Structure 1
Amino acid sequence: MSSSPISYYGNDSLSSETQSYAGDHRPSTASTELTHMDSDDTLPPTCYVTSDTDSDKDLVIHSLNESLHIHKEIMERIHAEKEAYVAHLNKERHDELEDIERTKQTLEEQMDRYNKLDAAYSALRRELDSRKDDYQRMEAKFYAHVKSIRATDDDLSTIQHEISHLSSQLNNLCMGLKAKMDPQAGSRFLLDRYHDQRPLFKKYLVNSSKDDGDDSSMLLESRHITMFTEKLIMELLVEHIFDQPLHIGVSVNQAYDKVSTWMRKYNEDWAQRFRQQMSALLANQAQLQDERESIEQANADLVDVILQQLGHIYPELQNQAGDYLKMQRKKIDTMVTRAARLNLAIKGQDIEIKHQDIAEGGVAEFDSAIMKADGKGKPEGHVLFVISPPFLAIDPNDAHHGFIIHGKVFCI
């Protein structure tokens, strides 16, 4: 049994909604299914007929829901990022404010410390200025006190210069006498004066080609005679001036030497001060009274001794009425006076200044620390003769305080 196709609607509401929707929109052609039922077939359950429009609607709604959901997620994410960024900015600002506060506090602490240091510095400057004033007053008193003790106003630097100047003056004197030299008479005199060293003269200073075996006929070269003239005068100055216990011509020389030697056994500082006081007394008081004449006489006697010794080498100096003798006497007198004044300055110093003995005859080796070789001999080797001794001023308490005037030596 066949039947015509029939459309079934599940309920009235669906039918009314469909009709309402159909009233607004043109319905699409719906195809119906033709159901063939046999006689024994039963009626199937209610069947719903859906259109393409319903599917589109559901799809649009679903798409809108998904779009809304995505939009919501985007908005939530943007809002979360915004909140995180704002929180980060707030944290950075908070950290910056804390850094500024800490920096401000540090600056305040440093400023406070600077003010304290500045106040302490100002106080120290005031104290330093006060100490400087005190030191200057003490220094002035000290120098006034030392000046009252020292025999002269000389210090180590001026004494060093004076010794060097005296040596140069002596060398110039000997070079000036060279024109009046008698080589034969001078050689005989020097060989007699240094008779213990005749073998050294013969071996190192006499020309072997002119040596006939007779010591009395040995002839020294003029340059060697000039060298020994300088040696002779320096030896006389050292003996009569620098080696005196106190000063040339002073009546208490021997007494002072005994007291000073005794005092050194017990107190070196007292002996040193005693030497300074005696030198100051001699320079400032004694020379103005009874000791002055004896000192001047001793100086004149030394000049006579030097001229008498030199007369054997330079015969022109034996002419008592000659102008040449007067001229040379004046030079030697000036040199002796200068050496005597230098001796007083040396004796008045805080440290001891003395000449050092050097063994002659080729015994001592050349020592560049205290010697300089004369140009007439070898630049080094062994010391044959000492022309002028070295002068040493050494402070035992300060290695940098003092000086050394090199001695002039003839080396072989």
Structure 2
Amino acid sequence: MRVLILDPFHGAAGDMITAALLDCGADRNIVVRAMKAVVAEPKISRVTRAGIQALRIETKALPVHRTLSEVLERLDTAAPHVPALAMARRVFERINAAEEEVHGGHVHFHEIGADDAIADIVGACTALHTLGIDRVHILPVTLGHGTGTGSHGTFPIPAPATAAILRHANLSTISGVHAGELCTPTGAALLAEFQAAAGAPGELPAYTIKALGYGAGTRDPAHAPNVLRAMVVETTGTNSGNPEDTVDILETNVDDVSGEVIAHAIARFMDAGARDASAIPIVMKKGRPGYLIRVICLPETSTKIAELMAMELGTLGIRCIPSVHRFIAERTVEEIEVEIAGTTKKCPVKLGWMHGSVYMLKAEFEPARIFSSEVGIPVREVLRIIEETAWKQVRK
């Protein structure tokens, strides 16, 4: 498994994250092209921070105050072909949710709404996309301490928006010994989105380091390197450390159980914590028709579910295929506004994510069925319209 480890011990800001990923091997041409869609070509240079060589990326733009809708419009019009545009939009939605939590509705982005901040977010998301990462592991985020100043005056560190973003992301933090703001709202939102989109690997097993990069911040204190470190590693074990990645498979054959009992048993298995359960028609010994009952579950629940299988199905033996590694795609459910036959409705759509991009989507059936009844159109047509609308939105 290919894992990106980000170490924001000395701080996290959008430009530092982008630079660290570039230094770690992200495709510079693609990243620069994405950033140039928003601002002029960024300046990339090699600098030294307290003895550590790092990459520094600088974008120049005038400060602009924008609402979320204005920022998203800026993204859609300036950078419609950016491969990680959907991820960049979600980063701004995280920031907006935090700002609204702190200041109330209809907030304006200040420093975060400027073109250079938009370019940093677009650059960081694109850089992650080009690295081809399976998982992202975020080490504790150093916040700093004291007070800072911004468009809303003097604020305690961490800034209120930064604290709100980190709270919802459940990222580990430390104050550190350095005064000043070390983690910005942009940096916090990027770290939160990276971990959500690529999935945290849990406790990492042994790994080998394949690439190493440092992204420099603006300041250059003598006592500590103002850098963010990124490492691309390959895990050397078969277990990623995430218990959801390893499952047991339980199987048994039955030929004397009715369909009603099998349906009831499968429902019981799912209620008991099974990840999946199925009944497959088979031909058993002596040519008798029967069913292969297969249940997928976590190792810690396999004994309980095997006993339940024996009780519900009356079988005398359960085969257990232990510790099977499985691929789990990151998934989200988003509300998509759809208009059909003059009626507009928000419909839930399940999205599957890989490397920061949507690779599959599927409209939820039950809301689509209800919509179908309301507009008098076959449900298969409603499903098609919902999914086509969703694809147009995620590909913007």
Sort the TM-score into its range (normalised by shorter chain): under 0.3
- With normalisation by structure 2, the TM-score equals 0.21
Structure with greater strand percent:
2
Instruction: Flag the structure with larger Rg.
Output: 1
Greater per-residue helix proportion: 1
